[in-house]
A and B are shown apart, each in its own frame.
Chain A
Amino acid sequence: MKKNKSTPKLLVEMKGIYKAFPGVVAIDGVDFSLEEGEIHSLLGENGAGKSTLMSILSGLYRPDRGEIYWQGERKVTISSPYDARCLGIAMIYQHFHLVEEHTITENIILGSKLPFNLSLQYYNEEIKRLGEKFNLSVKPTARIKELTIAEQQKVEILKALYNKVKLLIMDEPTAVLTPQETDKLFSILREMSKSGVTIVFISHKLSEIMAIADRITVLRRGKKVGTFQKQEVTPEKLAHLMVGELPEKFKSQISYTPKKDILKVTNLFVKDLQGNYVLKNISFTLKEGEILGIAAVSGNGQNELMETLAGIRKIFKGEIILNGKRIEATSARRKFLDGIHYIPADRKKVGTIGNLDIIENSAMRKYFQKQWQKHGMLIKDRIKDYFLPLINEYKLKLTTFSEKVKTLSGGNLQKLLLIRELDTPLCVLLAEYPTHGLDLEATQRVWNIIKEKASLGVGVIIVSEDLEELFSLSHRLAVMFKGEIVDIIDRKEATIEKIGLLMAGIKHSVNTY
């Protein structure tokens, strides 16, 4: 099937789309169209409206205003995922929509026209054939929970292909992949595009977009800035369009003079409830003022390491020494008071409590201290007074102190978390995906805070899926794979390729991918 380059046929045309949620306008009058068979990238900051716009096509949301035209003249209403599926639209979300307990086949055939009596054998074979055809080999009887993230993504793609997808939308697909896996994904997408599938690739990573896209649409704050052919733009221009003004050139870390050890981890072993090792023989040292970045594919122990250092997980064997004192057996509360503070990955469900108000959330770490009590009862005003200076300094936007935290925006929520976790005494800051979901302004702010604290002598360990972020901030990079630290490299010696290989568990590469 050849693409007719002279008169590209329009697959989808979205006109005048407007979508608002309580309190925020997500899409403000956007026109968007897709040519058949192209790979189109949707670029924008976090919160720009990319996912929302595509979720309208996938049937998850319905636009408040606007029209959608399918394959030319036909006006359609996509009011549910079922409608989208009937049209041939499939969206793969950041958190995969797969049933973990079921097999690959059971996931893929769900929702198709199936006979009452189900004979999986037939479908297993069908899916095996489908996989081989598209170079996405899978073992159809495997359960989703046994697969790696990259394999699960393959299943999602197979699912779309099985449903005879015409338009495949992928929302930030490379966030969970190593650089090598990303390359493999891109080649699969190019194959699909050649066979006539239209692909939308939502991302905020400029370099990837330049690699994969035919055309690029930039969204900013719910409005379309423009649509461009790949040849018309450069990464710098795209960045400018995304943010609206020239972003600060982000300076890499200047090398610093090594100071004394602040945190020393030796032969750390941690087991989970089932008795399996989640961390094996972890050893490293963190110095005062050093930023150590941890790069790993999701699920390789980085989260468990953070939790162990924060005191949430019990260790099996090993030592953790903070400023010369052994602390591996102490509680989370004790570790906080000793100076190890933790910003968890899940801001909304772990780091903060949505249904409690701002004061109650701020109090989470030190609610037991006497200064905030009178006759044994917690006095909210005292807590408020304690945090007020920081709230003003970080410009935390709030209407009243008694409003529930769940009403706060992502950026504000992160501010709240920072205010609380940067409280004294602070020796080591553990930050997990600290800029995830934040727009560029908020991201810059978080980076500046981290750098500032490091310059004051705080040791920082940062886990992030964004290698560029890690490269900008870290002095050293540690790579984790299957619960172990594969290697720790100085920033000066690290390259994206090297780190990518290490993340996949390849310690000495024979050939570059």
Chain B
Amino acid sequence: MKKLDYLWQVLNTVLTLTKRTKEVKWLIWGIPLFSIVGGLIIGAFILILTGKSPILVYKEMFLTSLGSFYGFSEVVVKFIPLLLCSLGVLVAFRMLFWNIGAEGQFYIGAIVSTGLALKLSHLSTCQLLPILFIGGFAGGALWAVMTAVLKAYLNTNEIITSLMLNYVAFYMVEYLVYGPWKDPSGYGFPLTPQIPQSAVLPTFCNTRIHIGLIVAFICWILIWYLFKTPWGYELKVIGYSPKSAEYIGIKTKRNILLALLIGGGLAGIAGMTEVCGLVYRLQHGFAPGYGYTAIIIAWLSRLNPLATVMVSFFFSILSVGAAGVEITFKLPASLINLIQGAIFLCMLTGEVFIDHFIVKK
């Protein structure tokens, strides 16, 4: 043990981490940028391992997403739920409340809006769509508030709770599409009947881009605004120093509930737009993990709403690109998860250097 210890001391004294005295501004956006590059590089290594050329794959990825009008519109389509989910995660994370449940909130929003759409098919578009938006919001909000209540009042770990609820929500979808909501004319496939035309979100021109885009932008501006209000300030204080929040009388519990209501609601709207704008039904495996990607996006954008838009957009590009190369290069769908995970990891190793630097002793 002593020899290990000695070796250790030697290693430790060569390089140490020291706090910076002056802020290096460019690192704040530089590190996330480097993380993205780093993640792509790691992805490249893995591709080489499996015998594919990373240059060709990446080129094809970006060509797919940015090289054609159709590709670009697909990017925007994916961007909508990603942005909404990311904003939802952002609101919670600002308080250092680890809402990992965006995925589940997304599902519940989808469930509620599908259910409402199928039941209220007699209503017109103008009547139905607002109801569906509210329903989606409410579903996601309720799902998130459960986690919030357990944490605020019973001190239950929110990470595990929200995660468990993700699984529950997933199985609820499964239950509905295999069971009570299964389309009788669907040849036994696990999906619901298609939602009525009145529930479909109008699109722009010939693309699949639906008005969810407008909703997403409105939500984005709202969140940006909220962060600047006294309430946003309160969230920040709760996150940075819960004891100080108590000291100045901030109602922490109430804020947690409110923040998660909004956060969950945003993810719920994302679920609703996915159903009403894209898939037009509830079906098995319809959600490509937006809730988890949202976490990465929130972290990379360092909880800044302005950056969130850019990072979400970039991840949409990646996502569409990955789907494109999946078939051509015979790559597993989890390639995108791999790259995303690598980017996340690079960000975590890199962000230390925003506040610290390495000193040789």
Direct contact of A and B (CB under 8 A): yes
Interface residues of A (CB under 8 A from B): 22-23, 79-80, 82, 310-312, 331-336, 342, 344, 346, 349-356, 360, 363-365, 367-368, 373, 376-378, 403-404, 407
Q: Chain B 239-267 against A: per-residue CB contact (8 Å), 1 yes, 0 no?
A: 01101101111000000000000000000
When the two chains form the complex, which single residue of A353, A376, A378 contacts B237, counting CB atoms closer than 8 Å?
A: A353
**Which residue on chain A has the smallest CB distance to residue B232?**
A378
Interface residues of B (CB under 8 A from A): 5, 9, 13, 18-21, 23, 225, 228-230, 233-234, 236-237, 240-241, 243-244, 246-249
Q: B247 to chain A: which residues have CB within 8 Å? A: 310, 312, 332, 342, 344, 350-351
Min CB gap B313→A, angstroms: 25
Q: B246 to chain A: which residues have CB within 8 Å? A: 312, 332
When the two chains form the complex, which single residue of B236, B240, B248 contacts A336, counting CB atoms closer than 8 Å?
A: B248
B249, A333: Cβ atoms under 8 Å?
yes
Bound complex: CA A368 to CA B21 (Å)? 32
A367, B233: Cβ atoms under 8 Å?
yes
A336, B249: Cβ atoms under 8 Å?
yes
Q: A377 to chain B: which residues have CB within 8 Å? A: 225, 228-229
B244, A79: Cβ atoms under 8 Å?
no
A363, B240: Cβ atoms under 8 Å?
no
B21, A22: Cβ atoms under 8 Å?
yes
When the two chains form the complex, which single residue of A23, A332, A352, A360 contacts B233, counting CB atoms closer than 8 Å?
A: A360
A378, B230: Cβ atoms under 8 Å?
yes
B240, A333: Cβ atoms under 8 Å?
no
A selection of 27 A-B contacts at a CB cut-off of 8 Å is A22-B19, A22-B20, A23-B21, A79-B13, A82-B5, A311-B249, A332-B249, A335-B249, A336-B249, A342-B247, A346-B243, A349-B243, A350-B241, A352-B244, A353-B240, A353-B244, A355-B240, A355-B241, A356-B236, A356-B240, A360-B233, A360-B236, A365-B248, A368-B230, A376-B225, A377-B229, A378-B233
When the two chains form the complex, which single residue of B228, B233, B237, B244 contacts A349, counting CB atoms closer than 8 Å?
A: B244
Q: B233 to chain A: which residues have CB within 8 Å? A: 360, 363, 367, 378
Q: B5 to chain A: which residues have CB within 8 Å? A: 82
User: Secondary structure of the B side of the interface?
Assistant: helix
Min CB gap B244→A, angstroms: 5
Q: A310 to chain B: which residues have CB within 8 Å? A: 247
Min CB gap B190→A, angstroms: 47
Bound complex: CA A355 to CA B303 (Å)? 15
Bound complex: CA A342 to CA B247 (Å)? 9
Q: B237 to chain A: which residues have CB within 8 Å? A: 353, 356, 364
When the two chains form the complex, which single residue of A312, A378, A404, A407 contacts B229, counting CB atoms closer than 8 Å?
A: A378
Min CB gap B6→A, angstroms: 10
B9, A79: Cβ atoms under 8 Å?
yes
Bound complex: CA A334 to CA B249 (Å)? 8
Bound complex: CA A352 to CA B240 (Å)? 10
B244, A80: Cβ atoms under 8 Å?
no
A350, B244: Cβ atoms under 8 Å?
yes
B241, A353: Cβ atoms under 8 Å?
yes
Min CB gap A383→B, angstroms: 11
B248, A332: Cβ atoms under 8 Å?
yes
Q: A82 to chain B: which residues have CB within 8 Å? A: 5
**Which residue on chain B has the smallest CB distance to residue A355?**
B240
Min CB gap A320→B, angstroms: 15
**Which residue on chain A has the smallest CB distance to residue B5?**
A82
B244, A364: Cβ atoms under 8 Å?
yes
**Which residue on chain B has the smallest CB distance to residue A23?**
B21
Q: A360 to chain B: which residues have CB within 8 Å? A: 233, 236
**Which residue on chain A has the smallest CB distance to residue B361?**
A62
* In the complex, the 9 A-B pairs of residues with the closest C-beta atoms, listed nearest first: A332-B249, A333-B249, A377-B228, A353-B241, A22-B21, A331-B249, A368-B230, A350-B243, A353-B240
Q: A349-B241, A349-B243, A355-B240 are in contact. List 13 more A-B contacts (CB 8 A).
A: A22-B18, A79-B13, A334-B249, A336-B248, A350-B241, A351-B244, A351-B247, A367-B230, A368-B230, A377-B229, A378-B229, A378-B233, A403-B23
Q: A378 to chain B: which residues have CB within 8 Å? A: 228-230, 233
Q: Among A350, A363, A407, which residue has the most Cβ atoms of chain B within 10 A?
A: A350
When the two chains form the complex, which single residue of B21, B240, B244 contacts A407, counting CB atoms closer than 8 Å?
A: B21
Bound complex: CA A23 to CA B19 (Å)? 11
Min CB gap A120→B, angstroms: 22
Min CB gap A380→B, angstroms: 10
Bound complex: CA A376 to CA B222 (Å)? 12
Q: B243 to chain A: which residues have CB within 8 Å? A: 346, 349-350
Min CB gap B319→A, angstroms: 33
Min CB gap A246→B, angstroms: 35
Min CB gap A238→B, angstroms: 34
Min CB gap B172→A, angstroms: 36
Bound complex: CA A23 to CA B244 (Å)? 27
Min CB gap B211→A, angstroms: 27
Min CB gap B16→A, angstroms: 10
Q: B19 to chain A: which residues have CB within 8 Å? A: 22
Bound complex: CA A367 to CA B228 (Å)? 11
Q: B240 to chain A: which residues have CB within 8 Å? A: 353-356
**Which residue on chain A has the smallest CB distance to residue B241?**
A353
Q: A403 to chain B: which residues have CB within 8 Å? A: 23
Q: B234 to chain A: which residues have CB within 8 Å? A: 367
Q: A367 to chain B: which residues have CB within 8 Å? A: 230, 233-234
Q: A351 to chain B: which residues have CB within 8 Å? A: 244, 247
